[in-house]
């Protein structure tokens, strides 16, 4: 089943049952996993309904601190994913919890962000203020699509006084139908440049966020589900929690192949429909790796060559010849080969050479993954 990422772990894990039957709570990232902008990721409502039918509870965990949990829950419900405010955990709540433990009830905190931060602070007995002239004891900064120069200026004045500065996250981008847009990390970078200070970050991948998610969801055996290696997967690994990476958001297949050990997921799926599937683990060999009907040869110069095996029995989850290629099985095999070479010779996984398809089915699946090279 699951495993904790470590430098000597070079393969993805497998399961005999669907993930939704193994883990009690899915800690689901939102942007790029459940929705992009105002619209659900294709198939997500149906997949999450299916996960619930298999007994899995859902908690929606996001680094985006712009909206209060009730607003997020209303959005999810409108998309066909029934949710209550208490099902939503955001980085504003983690930041407020962190500050309350250190400042005590009634402390004044300057907010650089939206009402989501104001409400999270109030829940913990803290007082939100919006001017450096209000004598704040700390500054908290979260994502806001309406963030302006005036808010940044107030933050700069307060931060220069030497008071604590907490950022809900430092994600450089947020996904959108038009492509990645500037995220909270980009705005945090502006204040870092202006003040020379560095904030405490309480969102993913910091364990503070995972603690908040487990506390609020009551999870006993959680599975982190996300689309980012540097927040969702890294945060899960830091907390010793298994993770499912989905490719419906910002992470590409090439980035996954190049991932260092602590950014490697436990499981891999195209989207959250992976919760309804058993996971096929890749098998390592002297020449490379295999998974389903796919085999990967790793040459001495670190090039990867993918081949579709024909004939013989087709393992569960693989696709018979003539059908659409099983891209995820191919990618699992590619990851196993690339990560094994990185572990074997100390090579940076990001230096793995070109990926090639040795036959027509392989070229098709590599093209679908954005990895196509010459045959």
For position 373, what pLDDT does the model report?
57
Catalytic position from the list 8, 24, 29, 118: 29
The question of whether 31 is a catalytic residue gets the answer yes
For position 375, what pLDDT does the model report?
46
- The dihedral region occupied by 251, where left means phi > 0, alpha psi between -120 and 50, and beta the remainder, is beta
> Tens of pLDDT along the chain (375 residues)?
444 444 444 579 999 999 999 999 999 999 999 999 889 999 999 999 999 999 999 999 998 888 899 999 999 999 999 999 999 999 999 999 999 999 999 999 999 999 999 999 999 999 999 999 999 999 999 999 999 999 999 999 999 999 999 999 998 988 788 888 999 999 999 999 999 999 999 999 999 999 999 999 999 999 999 999 999 999 999 999 999 999 999 899 999 999 999 999 999 999 999 999 999 999 998 889 999 999 999 887 778 999 998 643 344 444 434 333 489 999 999 999 999 888 776 655 556 678 999 998 899 899 999 997 544
The question of whether 230 is a catalytic residue gets the answer no
Global pTM reads: 0.87
Catalytic position from the list 8, 24, 31, 348: 31
């Amino acid at each position: 089943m699951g495993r904790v990422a470590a430098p000597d772990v070079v393969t993805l894990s497998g399961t005999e049952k669907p993930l939704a039957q193994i883990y009690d709570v899915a800690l689901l990232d939102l942007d790029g996993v459940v929705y992009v902008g105002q619209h659900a990721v294709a198939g997500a409502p149906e997949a999450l309904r299916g996960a619930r039918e298999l007994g899995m509870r859902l908690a929606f965990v996001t680094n985006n601190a712009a909206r209060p949990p009730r607003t997020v829950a209303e959005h999810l419900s409108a998309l066909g994913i029934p949710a209550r405010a208490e099902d939503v955990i955001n980085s504003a709540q983690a930041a407020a919890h962190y500050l309350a433990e250190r400042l005590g009830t009634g402390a004044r905190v300057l907010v650089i962000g939206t009402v989501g931060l104001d409400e999270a602070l109030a829940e913990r007995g803290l007082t939100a203020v919006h001017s450096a002239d209000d004598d704040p004891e700390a500054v908290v900064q979260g994502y806001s699509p309406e963030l302006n120069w005036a808010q940044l200026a107030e933050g700069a004045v307060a931060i220069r006084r030497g008071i604590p500065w907490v950022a809900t996250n430092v994600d450089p981008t947020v996904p959108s139908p038009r492509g990645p847009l500037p995220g909270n990390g980009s705005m945090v970078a502006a204040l870092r440049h202006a003040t020379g200070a560095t904030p405490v970050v309480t969102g993913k991948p910091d364990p503070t966020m995972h603690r908040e998610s487990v506390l609020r969801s009551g999870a006993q055996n959680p599975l982190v589900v996300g689309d980012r290696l540097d927040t969702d997967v890294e945060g899960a690994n830091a907390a010793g929690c298994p993770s499912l990476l989905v490719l419906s958001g910002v992470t590409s297949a090439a980035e996954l192949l190049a991932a260092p050990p602590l950014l490697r997921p436990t499981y891999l799926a195209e989207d959250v429909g992976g919760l309804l599937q058993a996971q096929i683990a890749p098998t390592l060999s002297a020449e490379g790796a295999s998974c389903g009907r796919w085999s990967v040869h790793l040459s001495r110069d670190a090039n990867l060559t993918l081949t579709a095996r024909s004939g013989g029995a087709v393992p569960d989850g693989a696709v018979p010849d003539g059908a659409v290629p099983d891209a995820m099985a191919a990618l699992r095999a590619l990851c196993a080969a690339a990560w094994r070479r990185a572990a074997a010779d100390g090579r940076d996984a990001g230096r793995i050479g070109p990926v090639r398809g040795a036959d027509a089915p392989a070229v098709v699946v590599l093209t679908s993954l954005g990895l196509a090279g010459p045959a």
